[in-house]
Chain A
Amino acid sequence: MKPGPVMVTALLALASSLGAADIPAHPRLLKFEPLVYHPPKAAPHRYALANGAIVYLVEDHVFPLVNISLTIRTGQYLEPLEKIGLAAMTGDQMRAGGTGSLSARDFDEEADFLAASISSSIADTQGNAGLNCLTANLDASLKLFFEMLRNPQFDQQRIDLYKSRRLQALARRNDRTAEIEGREWERLLRGDRHFSTAQETKASIESITRDDLIAFHRKYYQPASLIFAVSGDFPPKQMLAKLEQAMSGWETARPAVPKIPRPDHTPAPAVYMIHKPDVNQGRLSIGHLGVQRDNPDHYALQVMNSILGGGAFTSRITSRVRSDEGLAYSASSAMALGTYYEGTFRASFQSKSATCAQAAAIVLEEIARIRKEKVSAEDLATNVNYAIEVFPRFFSTPAQVAGAFAGDEYTGRPPNYWETYRDRLRAVTADDVLRVAQKYLDPDKLVILAVGNVDDILKGDPTKPEYSFQKLAGRQPIRRLPLPDPVTMVYPQP
C-alpha cells in the first residue's frame, strides 16, 4: 500500500471544501441565461453583378484586412480520363505561372512585397481562388488577383517544376498507411470508374501540355461561373464598384457544365487486408454507403452517429475502444452526407497489430447495439443539445459567414435551411434514432478494410483468442488486396 498519493488527494479535497462556500456541488446546479441567437440571412448580403457573377459582402472593420474567397463552377470531374491531374494542375499553375503583364517571378515578387496572399486551386467538384490583403493595399492586390483569374500565362518552366514535384509525390503513394487506407477505402466504396477515385499516373501527368491548361482555364473561368465571398474592411458600395471594374470586358458566355456524375458501384461486403510490413499499428475502416444531404432523415442520422461514434469522448465507439480498453488513440465514426450523391458511413480506428480484431469486434457490437436498443434520454439530450448550442460557431467570423452563403448558393442548399436547422434537430426523438439506425446501418453490407502488418494483425492477441478477423469475416475468405505500382497505378493480378 502506498500512503503518499492518498494523502495528497485528501489534502486537496480539504482545501477545496474550505474555500468553496458559494460553489454548487455539481455543475447541474448552475443556472444559465438563455442564449438567443439568430443565424445571419444571406439575401441582404447578396449582389448580382452585370456580368452574371454573384457577390456576397460581409463588412467588418476590426482589422485592416480584406478577404476574398471565390468559388468557380468547375472541378476535377470535368477532366478527360487520359488527362487525370489536368484540373488540379490548371488551378495550381494559374497562381504559379505568371500573367499577361507579369512574368511568374515578377508576379510572385509583387504579391509578396504587398504581403498579399493569393491562391488558386481546383478540387473535385469546384474551383477556388483566394485573396487576403491589407486594406491599404487593396487596389494593387485586386489587380494581381484578377490578372491571375483572367489572364494566366502558364509559364512552361513552372509547369515542368510542377510535374517534377507531382511525379516525385506519386512515387511515394504507398509509403504511408494512412494514405493507402484512404485511397483503397474510396475504391472499395466507389469503384474504379468514378471520377472521385481517378488517380494521377506518370503517363497522365506527362501527357498534359500548356495548351491543355490554357483551354481548361478558358472554358470554365468566366464571370457567370463565379461566386465571390468578400469579407473585411471595405464600404460595400465601393467594393462592388471595384469588382465590376476589375471584370469589365470579360466575356460573359456561361460555359455548359455537365452535371456531377453519381457513382454506379455496389461495394462488395467482406474483410479486406493490405500488407505493409514495417508498421506496428493497423489502420481500420468499417462502413458502407450512406445518404445524400437532402435526405430528410439526416438530422436523426447526425444525432445517431454522434451517439455511436461521432461525438468524441461521449460517443460509444470512442468510449469503449479508447477509454475502456486503451486499444486506440483515435476511434470514431462519421456519417458523411453527400452533396451530389450518396455519402458514406465509416467507423475507423488505429490499434497495435495484435488488438485490431478486438477493437473491430467492439465497433461491430456497437453498430448492432444502436440498431437494437433505443438510446437513453440522456444520450439523446446530450447530443441534440450539443448540435443546437454549437450552431452559432458555424458563423463565427465574417469570412465564415460570407463563405457559408457562397457555399450554399454553389451547392444549391434550400434558402431557409439554417433558419429551421435547430428546430429540426430539436424534433429528433429516440424512436427516430432507432428507426434511422435500422434503416441506414446494415451489418450485412459492411466493408472492413485493414492496412498494416497483416501477418501480425491476423495473429491477434494470444491472450484473447476469442477475437479474430476470420470470425468477423464469417464463412467468407479474408481478401488480401495488393498495392498498385505507385507510379502507374497498375494493380498486380492476384
Chain B
Amino acid sequence: MTRRLAGLLLATAALWGQKVPVQEYRLDNGLKLLMMPRRGDPNVAAGWVARVGSVNERPGITGLSHLFEHMMFKGTHAIGTSNIAEDLKNLREMDAARAELRQEELALIERHRRGQIEDPKDPKARTPRHARLVEQYDALVKRGRQFLVKDELDRIYRSAGGSGLNAGTDSDLTIYFINVPSNKLELWFWMESDRLANPVFREFYAERDVVHEERRLRTDSTPTGRFREQFDSLFWLSSPYGWPVVGWPSDLEGINREEAEAYFAVNYAPNNLTACLVGDFDPARAVELAKTYLGRLKRGPREPEPVRTREVKQLAEQRMIAHAETNPEVHIRYHTVADNHVDEPALIVLASLLNGRTGRLYKSLVIEQQLANNASAGARGLKYEGFFEFVGVARPGKDPVEVEKAIYREIETLQKTPAGDRELQKVKNQQAAGDFRRLQSNFGLLMQLLSYDALGGWETINTFPPRIQAVTAEDLRRVANKYFAPENRSVGLYYTKTSPGARPAGGSR
C-alpha cells in the first residue's frame, strides 16, 4: 500500500512541473493584470484586489475599508445619475449638513459621558436645532433622488448577464468580483475602470446604516459574535488586527464621506491594485482593453505605506471566560508568523495532521478519551502576523477545561515525538489532491490568485505546494516547540447559558 502511494506521489509531482500557467502584464501606471485563459463554458470570472483592509485603518475609522467597499457600488460621473453637476452639488450640501449634525451628536455623546442622559441616540434628548438639521438633511436626500439613477451599476451588469457581482473585505485586502459572459469582457473593463477613475460615493450615510445592520446581523445578534470579537481584540495586544473588519459601532456612526475620499486616493490607486481574468477569453485582446481602460488610471500621489504597528511580544497567558448560548467550548490561540514566513508550510501541515476523521484531535479527544464531540486546529497566516488556533467542543457533562488540558497533552506529544512517516505522507497526499481540486472552478482560481497577490505575490500558487511537500517530521516538532508556549497563548472558555425559551418564566442570566 505504501509503495503504491509513493508511486502516485511521483506522478503528482510531475504534474506540478507544469505549474499554473498564469500570464502577467503590468501597465505603466503600476496596475498588474493576471490572465488565466481556459476553454470551457463561455464565461469569464473577473475581479481585482486592492491591497488594503482593516489592518490599514486607525482608531476612529475602523470599518472604513469595508464601508468603502460598499461605496464602490454607488456609481460614477457617468453611472448612477441623470445630472452629475446637480448631483455633486447636492452631495456637498449633504456633507455640510452631516457635519453640523455631527456636532449635535458629539454634544449628546458628551452629555452621555457625563451621565446626564441615558441614551445618546434617544430622539427626545435632541435639541430643536438637531431636529431641524435632521429635517434639512432628509430634504436633501429627497432632492438628491431626482438625479439619482438607482443602482445603475448593478442594472447594467445584470442586463448583460453578469452574475455574482459582489465584493469582500478582509483584514489585508478588498476584492471585487463578478462573472461575465465571454462577449462582455469590454463591458467589465469599462465598468471597473470607470468606478476606479470617476467614483461618486452617493447615498453614503444610508449605506453607513446598512453596514451597521450588517454588523448587527453578523456580530451583535448571533449567540457568539460579540464574544469572538472580544477574543480577537484580547488576543492582539498592539496589532491593528485587534479591531473587527466591520468596525466598532462608534466609528461606524462617525465616519464621513471626506474620510472615504482621502482613503480612496491612496489605497485605490492603480499601483496598489491587481486585476485578474480566468475563463474563456483571448489574452491579447484583454491586454489591449486593459491598456485602453485601466491604463487611464493615474498612479497614486504616494505609495501606500506598510502597516507600522507590529504586534509586541506577549509575556503572559490571557484567559477569557464567557457565558453564551452555545456549546461548552475551548479556543486556544497562539501567536505565530505571517503568511510568507518560512515556518508557514510546517504550521499548515501541523494543522492537517490534527484535523479530520483521521486527525490526532478526533482520534484522541473524540474517539478515545470521549472528552470532546468535535476538535479542530487551524493555521492562519495574515499579511503582517499570524496565529494558530485549537478549538474543542466538550461532550455534554464535560468541562471545557478538561478538553483544554487534553489539547495541551497533544501539543506535548507534538513537541516531544516526531510524526510518523505514514501520517505525514497522508497529509501530503491530501494537500496534493487539494492542489488540483482548488483549481477546478474559474471563480475559485480567481479568488486564490487575487488573495495570493495581495499577500505576497500570485506565484505562491505554484511555489507553495512544493514547500508543503518538503516539510519534515523534524520541522513539525521544531515549530510545535517554537510557538506553543503557555505565555504565548490566549484561551477562550465558553460555558452554556440556557436559552430563555427553554426554561419557565424568570428569564436568563
Q: CB-nearest residue of chain A relative to B186?
A: A30
The answer to whether the Cβ of B60 comes within 8 Å of any Cβ in the partner chain is no
What residues of B have a CB within 8 angstroms of the CB of A9 in the complex?
Answer: 88, 200, 261
B198 and A16 contact, CB distance less than 8 A: yes
A19 and B502 contact, CB distance less than 8 A: no
Stretch at the interface among B50-58, B227-235, B432-440: B432-440
Tell me how far the C-beta of A168 lies from the nearest C-beta in chain B, rounded to whole angstroms: 6
New A-B pairs, 19, CB < 8 Å, besides A114-B429, A175-B326: A2-B92, A15-B298, A27-B191, A33-B183, A35-B182, A37-B42, A65-B440, A105-B363, A108-B357, A113-B5, A113-B425, A136-B8, A171-B502, A174-B499, A278-B508, A350-B216, A352-B212, A386-B161, A389-B161
The answer to whether the Cβ of B290 comes within 8 Å of any Cβ in the partner chain is no
B422 and A113 contact, CB distance less than 8 A: yes
Q: CB-nearest residue of chain A relative to B8?
A: A136
Contacting A462 at CB < 8 Å: which of B124, B222, B357?
B124
A390 and B205 contact, CB distance less than 8 A: no
Query: 1/0 contact trace for A94-108 toward B, CB 8 Å?
Result: 001000000001001
A385 to B160, CA, bound (A): 7
Contacting A35 at CB < 8 Å: which of B79, B124, B181, B432?
B181
What residues of A have a CB within 8 angstroms of the CB of B293 in the complex?
Answer: 23
Using CB atoms and an 8 Å cutoff, list the residues of chain B in contact with chain A.
Answer: 1, 4-5, 7-8, 11-12, 15, 38, 40-43, 73, 77-79, 88, 92, 95-96, 99, 123-124, 150-151, 154-156, 158-161, 163, 165, 179, 181-184, 186-187, 190-191, 194, 197-200, 203, 205-214, 216-217, 220-223, 257-258, 261-262, 265, 292-293, 295-298, 325-327, 356-358, 363, 366-367, 373-374, 393, 395-396, 422, 425-426, 429-430, 432-434, 436-437, 439-442, 499-502, 507-508
Query: 1/0 contact trace for A1-23 toward B, CB 8 Å?
Result: 11011101100110110111011
B436 and A312 contact, CB distance less than 8 A: no
B258 and A5 contact, CB distance less than 8 A: yes
A177 to B218, CA, bound (A): 12
A352 and B213 contact, CB distance less than 8 A: yes
Tell me how far the C-beta of B377 lies from the nearest C-beta in chain A, rounded to whole angstroms: 16
Tell me how far the C-beta of A52 lies from the nearest C-beta in chain B, rounded to whole angstroms: 31
What residues of A have a CB within 8 angstroms of the CB of B440 in the complex?
Answer: 63, 65, 397, 399
Tell me how far the C-beta of B424 lies from the nearest C-beta in chain A, rounded to whole angstroms: 11
Those 3 A-B pairs whose CB atoms lie nearest each other, nearest first: A389-B161, A483-B501, A326-B209
Tell me how far the C-beta of B146 lies from the nearest C-beta in chain A, rounded to whole angstroms: 14
- Interface residues in A130-177 by Cβ distance below 8 A to B read 132-134, 136-137, 140, 157, 161, 164-165, 167-168, 171-172, 174-177
B430 and A319 contact, CB distance less than 8 A: no
A323 and B203 contact, CB distance less than 8 A: yes
What residues of B have a CB within 8 angstroms of the CB of A279 in the complex?
Answer: 220-221
The 6 listed contacts between A and B (C-beta, < 8 Å) are A13-B198, A35-B183, A112-B356, A113-B426, A176-B222, A381-B159
A161 and B373 contact, CB distance less than 8 A: yes
A394 to B455, CA, bound (A): 33
B207 and A164 contact, CB distance less than 8 A: no
The answer to whether the Cβ of A250 comes within 8 Å of any Cβ in the partner chain is no
Contacting B12 at CB < 8 Å: which of A134, A312, A313?
A134
Tell me how far the C-beta of B232 lies from the nearest C-beta in chain A, rounded to whole angstroms: 20
Stretch at the interface among A187-195, A221-229, A327-335, A468-476: A327-335
A328 to B213, CA, bound (A): 6
The answer to whether the Cβ of A388 comes within 8 Å of any Cβ in the partner chain is yes
The answer to whether the Cβ of A485 comes within 8 Å of any Cβ in the partner chain is yes
Tell me how far the C-beta of B96 lies from the nearest C-beta in chain A, rounded to whole angstroms: 6
The answer to whether the Cβ of A276 comes within 8 Å of any Cβ in the partner chain is yes
Contacting B92 at CB < 8 Å: which of A1, A15, A105, A393?
A1
What residues of A have a CB within 8 angstroms of the CB of B156 in the complex?
Answer: 27-28
Query: 1/0 contact trace for A301-327 toward B, CB 8 Å?
Result: 000000000011110000100111111
A486 to B325, CA, bound (A): 13
Contacting A351 at CB < 8 Å: which of B154, B158, B213, B325?
B213
What residues of B have a CB within 8 angstroms of the CB of A64 in the complex?
Answer: 11-12, 15, 436
Q: How many residues of A contact B (CB 8 A)?
A: 105
Contacting B502 at CB < 8 Å: which of A24, A386, A393, A483?
A483
A459 to B190, CA, bound (A): 47
A37 to B280, CA, bound (A): 13
What residues of A have a CB within 8 angstroms of the CB of B434 in the complex?
Answer: 115
Chain B interface main SS type: helix
B502 and A392 contact, CB distance less than 8 A: no
Using CB atoms and an 8 Å cutoff, list the residues of chain A in contact with chain B.
Answer: 1-2, 4-6, 8-9, 12-13, 15-16, 18-20, 22-28, 30, 32-35, 37, 62-65, 96, 105, 108-109, 111-115, 132-134, 136-137, 140, 157, 161, 164-165, 167-168, 171-172, 174-177, 275-281, 311-314, 319, 322-330, 350-352, 381-383, 385-386, 388-390, 392-393, 395-397, 399, 452, 462-463, 482-487
A132 to B207, CA, bound (A): 43
Assuming the A-B contacts A2-B258, A12-B197, A323-B150, are A161 and B366 also in contact, with contact meaning beta carbons closer than 8 angstroms in the complex?
A: yes
B429 and A462 contact, CB distance less than 8 A: no
What residues of B have a CB within 8 angstroms of the CB of A382 in the complex?
Answer: 155, 158-159
A329 to B66, CA, bound (A): 13
B395 and A164 contact, CB distance less than 8 A: yes
A325 and B213 contact, CB distance less than 8 A: no
Tell me how far the C-beta of A428 lies from the nearest C-beta in chain B, rounded to whole angstroms: 15
A350 and B191 contact, CB distance less than 8 A: no
A381 to B190, CA, bound (A): 21
A462 to B122, CA, bound (A): 9
Tell me how far the C-beta of B156 lies from the nearest C-beta in chain A, rounded to whole angstroms: 5
A329 and B210 contact, CB distance less than 8 A: yes
B158 and A281 contact, CB distance less than 8 A: no
A383 to B154, CA, bound (A): 11
A393 to B161, CA, bound (A): 10
What residues of B have a CB within 8 angstroms of the CB of A389 in the complex?
Answer: 160-161, 181
B221 and A177 contact, CB distance less than 8 A: yes
A280 and B158 contact, CB distance less than 8 A: no
A486 to B502, CA, bound (A): 6
Q: CB-nearest residue of chain A relative to B500?
A: A277
Tell me how far the C-beta of A383 lies from the nearest C-beta in chain B, rounded to whole angstroms: 8
Tell me how far the C-beta of B63 lies from the nearest C-beta in chain A, rounded to whole angstroms: 13
Assuming the A-B contacts A35-B182, A319-B150, are A19 and B216 also in contact, with contact meaning beta carbons closer than 8 angstroms in the complex?
A: no
Q: CB-nearest residue of chain B relative to A110?
A: B1
What residues of B have a CB within 8 angstroms of the CB of A312 in the complex?
Answer: 154, 158, 165
B441 and A25 contact, CB distance less than 8 A: no
What residues of A have a CB within 8 angstroms of the CB of B163 in the complex?
Answer: 386, 390, 393
B151 and A482 contact, CB distance less than 8 A: no
What residues of B have a CB within 8 angstroms of the CB of A176 in the complex?
Answer: 222-223
Q: CB-nearest residue of chain B relative to A162?
A: B373
What residues of B have a CB within 8 angstroms of the CB of A276 in the complex?
Answer: 500-501
Q: CB-nearest residue of chain A relative to B78?
A: A26
A165 and B373 contact, CB distance less than 8 A: yes
Q: CB-nearest residue of chain A relative to B293?
A: A23
